[in-house]
């Protein structure tokens, strides 16, 4: 039984990672188009093309991590080694150089690829730690829940603070580009401290001997649960990022940047940071409920029920008007949707640990890092495809960055990316999970076999 200190320490790692990831997912497309001043097409192409490198870097990192041997373990030392490069790469990503258009485009490609490479270097080993911190399937869900609870806590801090930080730096420095860089420096310093804390508070308990590289890849490629879970994981990231990356545009061009919610007895500013931050708090509540729900119903069933809820409530968002009552309804729908995405998030990583156990059970393959690298790849692929797709949809519907007003078609496109399109993605996710074979009963059988 792992200690509470280790579970908290493990959670701090994704608290750091998620602070960066949510800013990348929700604000980076907006940064590139409205601050860095790339075109929508250039930004969409950049975010999609750079994923080609991830098809190589993610499994490569998994293989390297599986074969690392240090006094700190296999995966844990990467939290120490990559913490500083992670922070530095994030700052460079949000730095706008004084270059002409082609020079800026090259800078954007180089810094984006650098950031995603460093993200792989620290996050694939970090995720893989779940497979060597405990051998109990239910405790893996507990670890995963600590991870996601702290992740959403970090996301809440980053998203809620982002706009006030950029405003404060802009007031102080008089430049919007310097403001975004300054805000990222603050976030990056906090992320550095959190990753170091995660390193010092955790420990690997299970020692596994790496198997042959060829047999590892053979096991992975013939592992049906791995294929299905990876596709479902891509869908969850598509769902979250399509909605999340639309929010900044939705508030700027549809709701308005000075919208207010009037509750009669009080009122408050309704802005993108609040909308996203409320979602992160509700994600945290969802994470807490994932543990008892998955124990009662099993991970697969809990996942499917949550997916169905996402379909229904996402479609409802399309029909909400931009009125005071509509703003309240939008916030309520964000609360409900975020509760269910919060339930799903720890299940994904816990189920990857189950997939790694299945590989050991069926093939004798100790390829934990390789299995978890697909989780990192699914996260980045889903985020990149979603970010690119949203920008392409906006471009196709005629959205013009920084224009004082947008056409009805552009507004319709934004409404689709907040409702029907994520609902379609959630539908695909549910269909995939219906044929996922690692049920609660099957995992009990696997756990018993591995212990004997």
pLDDT tens for the chain, residues 1 to 452: 678 999 999 999 999 999 998 898 788 888 998 899 998 889 888 877 877 787 778 888 988 998 899 999 999 999 999 999 999 999 999 999 999 989 999 999 999 999 989 999 999 899 889 888 887 877 888 898 899 889 988 988 998 889 899 999 999 998 999 999 999 999 999 999 999 999 999 999 888 777 777 888 888 889 999 999 999 998 998 999 899 889 989 999 999 878 899 898 888 889 888 898 899 899 989 988 998 999 889 899 999 999 999 999 999 999 999 999 999 999 999 999 999 999 998 899 889 888 988 988 888 887 778 888 877 777 777 777 787 888 899 999 999 988 888 999 999 999 999 999 999 999 999 999 999 999 888 888 888 888 76
Q: Quote the Cα angle for 229-234-239, to 5°.
A: 125
SS3 call for 26: helix
320: left (phi over 0), alpha (psi -120 to 50) or beta: beta
Residue 318 makes CB contacts below 8 A (sequence gap 6+) with 415, 416, 418, 419, 420
Number of domains in the chain: 1
Tokens of 140: 């893996």
pLDDT of residue 203: 92
pTM comes to 0.76
What CA–CA distance (Å, rounded) separates 322 from 299?
37
Beta bridge partners of 69: none
Report DSSP state, residue 338: H
d(CA 123, CA 408): 41
In angstroms, the CA 68 to CA 132 distance is 13
Write the DSSP string, 357-409.
Answer: HHHHHHH----HHHHHHHHHHHHHHHHHHHHHHHHHHHHHTT--TT-SS--HH
The token pair that represents 72 in the structure block: 């700190």
Return the C-alpha torsion angle 154, 155, 161, 163, nearest 10: 160
Taking the C-alpha atoms of residue 103 and residue 117, their distance in angstroms, rounded to an integer, is 21
Beta carbons of 93 and 112 less than 8 angstroms apart: yes
Q: Which domain holds residue 284?
A: 4-451
Residue 169, domain CATH? 1.20.1250.20
């Amino acid at each position: 039984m792992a200690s509470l200190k280790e579970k908290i320490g493990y959670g701090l790692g994704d608290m750091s990672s998620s602070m960066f990831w949510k800013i990348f997912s929700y604000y980076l497309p907006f940064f590139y188009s409205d601050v860095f001043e790339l075109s929508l097409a250039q930004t969409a192409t950049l975010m999609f093309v750079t994923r080609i490198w991830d098809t190589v870097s993610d499994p490569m990192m998994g293989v390297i991590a599986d074969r690392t041997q240090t006094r700190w373990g296999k995966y844990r030392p990467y939290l120490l080694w990559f913490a500083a490069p992670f922070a530095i790469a994030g700052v460079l990503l949000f730095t706008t150089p004084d270059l002409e258009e082609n020079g800026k485009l090259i800078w954007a490609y180089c810094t984006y690829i650098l950031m995603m490479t460093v993200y792989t270097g620290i996050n694939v080993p970090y995720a893989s730690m779940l497979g060597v911190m405990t051998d109990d399937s239910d405790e893996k869900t507990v670890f995963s829940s600590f991870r996601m609870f702290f992740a959403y806590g970090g996301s809440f801090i980053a998203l809620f603070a982002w706009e006030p930080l950029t405003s404060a730096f802009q007031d102080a420095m008089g430049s919007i580009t310097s403001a975004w860089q300054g805000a990222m420096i603050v976030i990056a310093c906090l992320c550095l401290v959190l990753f170091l804390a995660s390193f010092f508070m955790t420990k690997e308990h299970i020692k596994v001997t790496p198997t042959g590289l060829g047999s590892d890849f053979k096991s992975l490629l013939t592992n049906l649960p791995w294929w299905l879970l990876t596709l479902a994981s891509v869908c969850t990231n598509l769902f979250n990022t399509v909605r999340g990356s639309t929010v900044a545009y939705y508030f700027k061009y549809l709701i308005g940047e000075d919208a207010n919610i009037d509750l009669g007895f009080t009122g408050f500013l309704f802005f993108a940071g609040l909308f996203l931050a409320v979602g992160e708090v509700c994600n945290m509540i969802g994470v807490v409920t994932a543990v008892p729900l998955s124990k009662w119903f099993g991970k697969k069933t809990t996942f499917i029920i949550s997916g169905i809820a996402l379909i229904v409530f996402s479609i409802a968002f399309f029909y909400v008007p931009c009125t005071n009552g509509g703003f309240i309804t939008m916030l309520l729908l964000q609360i409900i949707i975020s509760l269910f995405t919060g339930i799903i998030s720890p299940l994904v990583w816990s189920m990857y640990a189950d997939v790694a156990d299945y590989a050991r059970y069926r093939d004798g393959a100790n390829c934990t890092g390789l299995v978890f690298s697909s989780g990192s790849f699914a996260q980045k692929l889903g985020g990149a495809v979603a970010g690119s797709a949203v920008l392409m949809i906006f471009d196709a519907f005629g959205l013009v960055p920084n224009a004082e007003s947008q056409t009805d078609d552009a507004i319709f496109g934004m409404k689709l990316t907040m409702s029907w399109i994520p609902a379609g993605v959630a539908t695909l996710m549910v269909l995939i999970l219906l044929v996922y074979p690692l049920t609660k009963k099957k995992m009990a059988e696997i756990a018993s076999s591995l212990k004997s």
